[in-house]
Structures are given as structure tokens and as C-alpha cells.
Amino acid sequence: MPIHLYWGDDEAARQRALAVQIEALVDPAWATINLSRLDGADPLQAARALEEARTAPFGAGARVVVLQRSPFCQACPAELAAQLEAALELIPAEGHLFLVSEGKPDARLRTTKRLRAVAEERSFPLPPIWDGAGQIERVESAARERGLALAPGAAEALAEAIGSDGLRLASELEKLALHTGSAAGPITAEAVAALIGGQVTSSLAVGDALLAQRPAEAIALVEALLEANEPALRIVAALASQIRGWLWVCLLERSGEQDVAVIAKAAGIGNPKRIYVMRKQIRGRSPDQLLALLRRLLDVEAALKRGADPGDAFRDGFLLAAAQGWHDQPGHAPRR
């Protein structure tokens, strides 16, 4: 199939799958002519990708055109949509057009419907940070793709150490493969601990520490994440999502709602079974306390966007929350 639709926020898995396809399709001797990489954020390059995809390859192998940040399944201008319609039937069998994007295709668009009718579609979504089973499955899948065997407990250790960082997962698996060696058997949890060290944390663990009123632990966990190159605003986004989930569950339970499916749907939580865990976590907490945490998190976000040092922004926000007993006085507005 000459058209390929790749999407999802797991950039490492997405790029690896793309690299495997390019290696299989493009003759290295003709790669400079038969392989094009373009950026769909530029409408001119998006149009050029459609033109190049219609050109037969030179020499051996296939022609491959890769359009990163493809606009065709998102907010696609009418002119580009028309050019896509005209090009679809003209791509030769030995040509391959890869339309790559981070976001999920908008199923309402005519261009999305048209592409899905003719394209090979593959998705590469990151599992939610709270989805431990999904994180482990992702580690196991990445190891299988590289021909690596994992001993019992190794996938769990890797998932805990790396969290949702797909690029780091790829890097650490390569290091572990070299560290273990092909003749030494599968990668063990001990090897993970020895090579990756003590970076066993995630934004979820930070939220748990905040909820338990342990600001020093939360600060230490954030510093570990920052040292592992986790973007500060991504930590804020993950914490905000976690705390909002707690707040929704707390408010709905106080209103008398007991059906976990209803609570999960209202809170935007995909797995209703998670509600049982969240109920235990917030037992004894009030909506005001959770709102106070969100206010402090807004302070952290505002400080980061003003250019504050990430470590200082989190430290000040978390310590201020602790000093106020996780509860602002009535009428107190978030600082900006």
C-alpha cells in the first residue's frame, strides 16, 4: 500500500517504526534521490510531498516521502485538501508516502475519511501515566522489537524508572543490551537498577507525595524528574490532570454518586477500575484541599512561564502549599 498514516504521541516508537520501513524500502545506494523528508507545518512542503510521491523511483528500491507534522488529518486548508484528492490515485505502486503526526486524525474531516479508505494506518499512543499495565506492556513491546528478552520484574523496573519518556526508553534499552550482552541471558531487574540508578519516579508519585502532605519528598521526586530531562511544564500538566481527577471523584461522591462508570465518564477517566484506587487515595480529603493544590500548581505554572528556574518554581509552590496547610483562606485568588 503506497500511503501510510502514522500518528500518536509516542515519538520514539513512531520514529522507530518509520526507520524500519525506510530501511526495508529504500536502496541505500539511491537514498539521496529516493528518500525525501519534509515538514507539513509548511504548506509549501506539504504540497511538495504530494508532488514527489507521484514520481517513480530512480534505480533500485522504492521512493519514500516522509511528511512529518502532516496537516491532512487535522486543520487542512481547502487548497491542500484538493491537492491531496488529486494526488491519491497518482502515487505509483513503488512509491510510498508516509503522513506522520502526533495528534489523532480528526475523523470528521473529508481528508481523513479519504485517507483511511486507502492508507495503512498505525497508531503509537503513549499509555496514560497512571496506567501501570499499559506502561509495562509498552516496555515489553519495545524490547521485543529489538529482539531483547526481559527477565521477570525487569519490565516493571524499567516502566517505573522511565515513566512515559519513549526516547529515554529506547536509549536505556540500547544501553541494557550492551551491558547484558547477547550471551548473558535476558535483561534482569538488577541490571536495570545498576545501569539506570535511582531514577525510579514519575509525576504520579509526586502527586501522591503532595496528597500525603510530604512536600520534601515531592520536591525530591520533581528534582529527579528534572535531572532526567522531563520537561517542567509536562510535569505540571500531569499533576494537574491527576489532581483534577481526584477533585472530580471527591465532588461526585459528595453529591451521592456511587456508580464508578458514571464517575469515570464524568471525570474523563478511561478505566473505571481506577476509581477504586482514587477513592482510597482521597479518603479524608476535602474538595477545598484539592482546589488549594491546584491553585499552588497554577502558581508553579505561572512562574515557569515567566522564566523562573524549574527547581525553584516547584520548590516555592510546594513549600508554600505546605505552609498554608494545603488550604487557602476563603477569597484568596491565585497569584500570577
Note whether 141 and 45 are same-domain residues: no
Residue 309 to residues 215, 223, 237, 293, 303: CA-CA distances in angstroms? 18, 12, 17, 20, 8
Q: Which of 93, 123, 153 is the last residue of a domain?
A: 123
Cα separation, 93 vs 116, in Å, equals 17
Note whether 117 and 10 are same-domain residues: yes
The answer as to whether 336 is a domain residue is: no
Note whether 166 and 55 are same-domain residues: no
The answer as to whether 139 is a domain residue is: yes
Note whether 208 and 306 are same-domain residues: yes
Note whether 88 and 191 are same-domain residues: no
Q: Which pTM was predicted?
A: 0.57
Note whether 16 and 96 are same-domain residues: yes
Note whether 278 and 257 are same-domain residues: yes
- The C-alpha cell of 336 is what? 500570577
In terms of Cα–Cα distance, which of 282, 297, 284 is closest to 328?
297
Note whether 208 and 155 are same-domain residues: no
User: At 175, which CATH number?
Assistant: 1.10.8.60
User: At 295, which CATH number?
Assistant: 1.20.272.10
Long-range contacts of 113-118 (CB under 8 A, 24+ apart): 114/84, 114/85, 114/88, 115/3, 115/5, 115/72, 115/73, 115/84, 115/88, 116/5, 118/1, 118/3, 118/88
The answer as to whether 46 is a domain residue is: yes
From first to last of the 336 residues of the chain, give the pLDDT tens digit: 589 999 998 888 898 899 999 999 999 999 999 999 999 999 999 999 999 999 999 999 999 999 999 999 988 899 999 999 999 889 998 999 999 998 899 999 999 999 999 999 999 888 766 666 778 888 888 888 888 888 888 888 888 777 666 777 888 888 888 877 655 578 888 888 777 754 445 677 888 888 888 888 889 989 888 887 778 888 888 888 888 888 988 998 888 888 888 888 877 776 677 788 788 888 888 898 888 888 889 999 999 999 999 999 998 888 876 665 544 444 444 443
* Residue 107 domain boundaries: 3-123
User: At 94, which CATH number?
Assistant: 3.40.50.300
Q: Which of 79, 96, 123 is the last residue of a domain?
A: 123
Note whether 15 and 119 are same-domain residues: yes
The answer as to whether 144 is a domain residue is: yes
Note whether 179 and 137 are same-domain residues: yes
Which H or E element spans position 112?
Answer: helix 110-118
The answer as to whether 184 is a domain residue is: yes
The answer as to whether 244 is a domain residue is: yes
If one counts the domains in the chain, the total is: 3
The answer as to whether 335 is a domain residue is: no
